[in-house]
A and B are shown apart, each in its own frame.
Chain A
Amino acid sequence: MLDGILIGLATAVTPFNLMMVVAGCLIGTLIGMLPGLGPMSIIAIMIPVAIGIGDPTSALILLSGVYYGAIFGGSTSSILLNAPGVAGTVASAFDGYPMAQQGMAGKALTIAAIASFAGGTVSVVLLMVFAPALSSVALLFHSAEYFALMVVGLSAIAAFAGSGQVGKALMMTLLGLIMGTVGEGALSNTPRFTFGILDLQSGFSFITLAMAMFALPEALFLVMNPARAASQAGGKITGLRISRAEARTIAPVIGRQSVMGFFIGVLPGAGATIASFLGYAVERNLATREEQAQFGKGSIKGLAAPETANNAACTGSFVPLLTLGIPGSGTTAILLGALLALNVTPGPRLMLDEPDVFWGVIIAMYIGNLVLLILNLPLIPYIAKILSIPRNYLIPFILFFTLMGSYIGQNNSTELLILVAFGVVATILRFADYPLAPLLIGFILGTMLEDNFARAMQLYHGFGFLLERPMTLGLLALAAFLVILPSLRAMRLRRKLAREAGVADGD
């Protein structure tokens, strides 16, 4: 592992890559602060830039910097405006916004930054320990197991979708898989479902789809309902310092939540949202009685818990991506798409074949956390000015960036029409409360799923691989279990859990 760290340091600590980390964090914070633009949309917008860089390591370093920055920016807007841009930062607003109202906005931001930093750093260490172990197991996998593993991943995403949503999430996953079959098929290059349109020959562009699913509906919602973008930057931000006693109070919270958040993040589909809500609930139960009364009214513990957990979970979600090549959340799905476009195939071979990419990214994550704490935090009062850009200027630019993102990728204006059409469909789906991340994950995994399925079928001349490879059968049984169990439990729990509405389903 020490070798790996050295490789990573050698790759990440070059002037250009350091610049990428800083640029990524700044851009991410800047855009992530805008209400409604979650990490998924921002990364989707940044993909053409990343591909333009050409070098996969620098590109991935830039994108992961953007990811961290976006989450940090998202918590800033939930603390200052009570307008979380992403589901993962909703819990931060519970205690962060009351603190800001009491004039402690600066302190709240510092706690958020320190908690994010600690959560990110601890979980990067966990990532370094667990990813190599997992990928050495994954090397034993065969195409049959890969097929089964992807089925498990897809059903886990549906299973963690929340009560009453399992059917809908499954539906969206299938829709994504169906959309993935448009274009040239597995093992043969005959075009399928293209309706004779030449532009569809190579399938739907993944960037266009990502833009249409996440950035465009959010922008349209901002247009339709200005209340979503309560665009008055709240007062001056002063007093960034926290006292020693406060640091001592939040230290155990941060310790617990970084470990817990990481492991929740590793589970496909669970991600930052569940980690942050769970972290908040756990810390409230653990707190003493007088501290419990503070929760919801500006408790520093209540702010530190979800902030630590969501950052740790974000790092955790890189584990299945880097070791198995299977994205567990919408954001990692987009990153996977970007990696494939850069000719890097994440998976168990990544660590052996391209150790500089693997370790470079891990070290860059660490540096990214540091940059956020040292560089971004003092800049926040100035960056927060972006919240006062009038809506009339902001929205056309957001729309323009989504258009540009999909145009630059393909240099084809048909792509723009597809973008608008899917954007409208996605908006309607959002209105009906359908989760969209499963669609994108299904779309990305669809091709791989089919290829591995076809390969396994060819090797075993039929469905024999199900019986001959017990691991495959076990994984498929797990997948079935994952789908059926929550639907049974959902019937009972349906009334208990309130629906989380009004935020981008991004983590």
Chain B
Amino acid sequence: MALDRWIALVFVGLCAAYGYAAFFTMDHLLPPILQRNPVWPSTFPKMLAIAGVIVGLMVLFTRTPEGRAAPNAGAMDITRLGDYHIGQALGLLALMVAYAMTLRSLGFIASTTLFLVLGGVVLGERKLYILIPVAALATVSIWYLVQEVLGIFLRPLPSFLL
């Protein structure tokens, strides 16, 4: 089964769960005064769930078109997944999660510099004497722009300092 069918299957499951939540878990929480409305908060989700299941099943069971165009060098093709730099992509995703976790506690400047430097390292950059100054300079100037020009507060320093 091709990936798009699997996704359709997951989608049907999602819609079923969503529909279950809409049909069976929401209505009894509704205050009596709102029950006199013709449209309840669950009405629209119920319609969506039904439509979603139907469309999902349609995608699941229609024949996939054949005779695809020959992919060019830049095209993404799941069958060539082995040739791609999956490790680098996963490393960067992990870094992004780590960045989300540390942004508050380490402060903007430290965590962003680390993110940019480690991101470069994950991608194979080894000239740290260029990478670190570039990252630090960019971080400080972006912080200055956001904080001073746009007026959006970003905590610059680690939480125990500020």
Q: Separation in Å of the A319 CB from the closest CB of chain B?
A: 28
Q: Separation in Å of the A479 CB from the closest CB of chain B?
A: 12
By a CB distance below 8 angstroms, the chain A residues around B34 are 187-188, 190
Asked if A167 and B62 sit within 8 Å, CB to CB, the answer is yes
Which A86-105 residues sit within 8 Å CB-CB of chain B? none
By a CB distance below 8 angstroms, the chain B residues around A399 are 92, 96, 119
By a CB distance below 8 angstroms, the chain B residues around A391 are 123
Asked if A501 and B75 sit within 8 Å, CB to CB, the answer is yes
By a CB distance below 8 angstroms, the chain B residues around A423 are 93
Contact with B along A437-461 (1 / 0, CB 8 A): 0000000000001100110011001
Which A360-392 residues sit within 8 Å CB-CB of chain B? 390-392
Asked if B66 and A495 sit within 8 Å, CB to CB, the answer is yes
Task: Check if A393 is an interface residue, CB within 8 A of chain B.
Answer: yes
Contact with B along A403-431 (1 / 0, CB 8 A): 11001100101001101100110001111
* 9 intermolecular pairs with C-beta atoms under 8 Å apart: A185-B44, A190-B34, A220-B89, A224-B86, A392-B120, A393-B131, A432-B78, A494-B66, A500-B69
Residue of B nearest to A455 (CB): B39
Known: A227-B73, A502-B74. A392 touches B55 (CB 8 A): no
Known: A495-B66, A502-B75. A404 touches B142 (CB 8 A): yes
Tell me whether chain A's interface is mostly helix, strand or loop, or mixed. Answer: helix
Asked if A396 and B76 sit within 8 Å, CB to CB, the answer is no
Q: Choose one: A221, A432, A453, A499; the contact of B39 (CB below 8 Å).
A: A453
Highest count of chain A CB atoms <10 Å: which of B18, B40, B52, B65: B65
Asked if B52 and A178 sit within 8 Å, CB to CB, the answer is yes
Q: Separation in Å of the B41 CB from the closest CB of chain A?
A: 4
Contact with A along B56-95 (1 / 0, CB 8 A): 1011001011111101111111100001111011001100
Chain B interface residue bracket vs A: 35 or more
Taken together as a complex, chains A and B put the C-alpha atoms of A178 and B56 apart, in Å, by 13
By a CB distance below 8 angstroms, the chain B residues around A461 are 38
Taken together as a complex, chains A and B put the C-alpha atoms of A163 and B68 apart, in Å, by 12
Contact with B along A472-507 (1 / 0, CB 8 A): 000000000000000000000011001111110000
Highest count of chain A CB atoms <10 Å: which of B39, B68, B93, B112: B39
Asked if A167 and B78 sit within 8 Å, CB to CB, the answer is no
Contact with B along A215-226 (1 / 0, CB 8 A): 000001101111
Taken together as a complex, chains A and B put the C-alpha atoms of A128 and B99 apart, in Å, by 46
Task: Check if A400 is an interface residue, CB within 8 A of chain B.
Answer: yes
By a CB distance below 8 angstroms, the chain B residues around A413 are 100-101, 103-104
Highest count of chain B CB atoms <10 Å: which of A188, A396, A457, A494: A396
Q: Choose one: A164, A170, A186; the contact of B41 (CB below 8 Å).
A: A186
Asked if B85 and A223 sit within 8 Å, CB to CB, the answer is yes
Q: Choose one: A181, A403, A411; the contact of B48 (CB below 8 Å).
A: A181
By a CB distance below 8 angstroms, the chain A residues around B30 are 188, 190
Task: Check if B21 is an interface residue, CB within 8 A of chain A.
Answer: yes
Task: Check if A349 is an interface residue, CB within 8 A of chain B.
Answer: no
